[in-house]
Amino acid sequence: MSFPLREPGTKYLLAYADEDAKELCAAMALCGLGDQIFEVYAFTDPDHRRQGYFHRLWEKAKITFPGKSLKGSAPIVRFAVDSACKDALPVLLSIGAHLAEEETEMACSLEDKETPDPRYRFRESKPSAEGFRAYEIFRPNEKRPAFRCFVTPMKDHNAYLHRVSVRKELVGQGVGSELFPQFLGLLKKLGYKKATMQVTASNTPAVRLYTANGFRETTSLRYYELML
């Protein structure tokens, strides 16, 4: 998996071989996704593995997460693991993480997407503390948004999409097929060149929708999760 570099709203923890900070041995990235959910990515140099660097960074990471929200919900920490992360599973199990779900990562080029139909109205939120924005689409003559998606800007003009949703009473009426292409056209208009997202592998309707709009599977991920 790639390590997130210079992503908005991401905190980084570094571990060095000595106090002189000349040799970087391990790094950990803490990515806030909102709603008390965080994704953690970690990398340890192969020459310094099995020397406790991950656990050292994890102990520092735990004190940087916020406490319980006003509603009483505790932070949820997720670790994404792909087939290349062979050494990750024993380490994650040792800190109490458990398999939460399996997802498919999909990506799509936006270069061929059409300009959004002017009949639709779009609304963009202010950026959150974690760096993402919410985008909503209004159908003609409607006052309530029919579609919403959250976008986190990534490097190389890549948009990471999450929490794609259609208004509850419109589910199953083809609204996703109607508005998702409009949304991709909006992303292109905003200067993005690529869109990336993750979808639960068992969510067949969603996978079908994204595939129909040019998304292709790039990797399979397993999410291990724990609550602080």
Residue 74's CATH number: 3.40.630.30
Measure CA of the first residue to CA of the last residue in the chain; give whole Å.
Answer: 24
Provide the domain count of the chain. Answer: 2
Query: Could you tell me how far CA 221 lies from the centroid of its own chain?
Result: 12
Q: Could you tell me which residues come within 8 angstroms of residue 170 by beta carbon, excluding any fewer than 6 positions away?
A: 146
* 121 and 209 share one domain: yes
Kindly write down the DSSP assignment for every residue of 161-216, as one continuous string: EEEEEE-GGGTTTTHHHHHHHHHHHHHHHTT--EEEEEEETT-HHHHHHHHHTT-E
CA 40 – CA 28 distance, rounded (Å) = 7
* 114 and 70 share one domain: no
pLDDT per residue, tens digit, the chain (228 aa), is 555 655 667 889 999 987 776 789 999 999 887 778 889 999 899 898 889 999 999 999 988 887 766 676 788 999 988 877 778 888 999 999 999 988 899 999 999 999 999 999 999 999 887 788 999 999 999 999 999 999 999 889 999 999 999 999 999 999 999 999 999 999 999 999 999 999 988 889 999 999 999 999 998 888 999 988
Is the pTM of the predicted complex or chain greater than 0.75?
Answer: no
Q: Which domain holds residue 124?
A: 107-219
Query: Do the domain assignments include residue 224?
Result: no
